[in-house]
Amino acid sequence: MERIGQRHRRCVCFVQFALTALDVRQRFLVEVAPLAAQGRSVLSWTASCFLLKAGYTDMVRELLAVGADSNVTDMNADTPLFVAVKERHSAAATELIAGGRADVRRRDAARGRQPVHYAAELGLTSVVTALLDAGSDVNTADADGRTALMLATIGGHEDVARLTMDRDGCDVNVVDSTQRTSLFYAAQLGLVDTVRRLLQVRPLSVCNTFCY
């Protein structure tokens, strides 16, 4: 608990400093980046509280350059990559992925999700592409049995649904915990292009489309 308190205080202090500094980037490089070089878990706490949420991608890049750990987590098991995706900062997310050290297959504690699930749900096309290119499994399911394709469809993001279907090995017949498929959700939401593409996939199970 004491370590958590210390990290929280460090985070709060940094946020207060960053919001009031006349030259945020210069002060950041002088006062924060050296801590990362010493192996301290700065990236997750400062980035989660300020850098990623504020979209300071260049500062994230500087932290990665000095060897900050991109896989440290907070109490919710969220890494900086999770924070960047959830805050819809595509540039910061792709920067973390491109660094090559972020664990793209890590799951969060709340919903058993990987970053690709949140990116698909939020319609972050470039992030989904980067995650899949970096090794995320297109068929991995969250705690509700939902894949990136299914979440993109539920969110109405046909461009993301399309790119997941275009990936080799994409299973369009995955059934979630409610016994529904991507085709069911696409039909329910009237996503004509997604329905058409799903129907072109063989073999395709259509039984769940008419069960409810």
DSSP state of 145: S
Q: Which two tokens stand for residue 173?
A: 């017949």
Domains of the chain, by residue range, sit at 1-76
Distance CA 95, CA 61 (A): 7
Question: In degrees rounded to 5, what are phi and psi of residue 174?
Answer: -60, 135
Distance CA 165, CA 174 (A): 12
Burial 116-148 (b: 16+ CB within 10 A, else e): bbbbbbbbbbebbbbbbebebbbebbbeeebbb
- Cβ–Cβ under 8 Å, residues 134 and 99: no
pLDDT tens-digit map of 190-203: 999 999 999 988 66
pLDDT tens-digit map of 70-128: 787 777 778 888 988 998 989 889 988 988 688 999 999 889 999 999 999 999 999 99
CA 78 vs CA 26, 38, 119, 174, 182: distances in Å:
27, 22, 14, 26, 27
Distance CA 149, CA 152 (A): 5
Q: Of 116, 198, 186, nearest to 154 (Cα)?
A: 186
pLDDT tens-digit map of 7-50: 554 454 344 433 333 344 555 555 455 544 444 445 444 544 45
> Residue 211: pLDDT above 90?
no
Predicted confidence at residue 73, as pLDDT, reads 76
SS3 string of 169-210? Answer: CCCCCCCCCCCCCHHHHHHHHCCHHHHHHHHHCCCCCCHHHH
Q: Which two tokens stand for residue 111?
A: 């919903």
Residue type, 82: F
Question: What pTM value is reported for the model?
Answer: 0.76
pLDDT tens-digit map of 123-180: 999 999 999 999 999 999 999 999 999 999 999 999 999 999 999 999 999 999 999 9
Q: How many residues does the chain have?
A: 212
Q: Is 190 left (phi over 0), alpha (psi -120 to 50) or beta?
A: left
Distance CA 138, CA 140 (A): 6
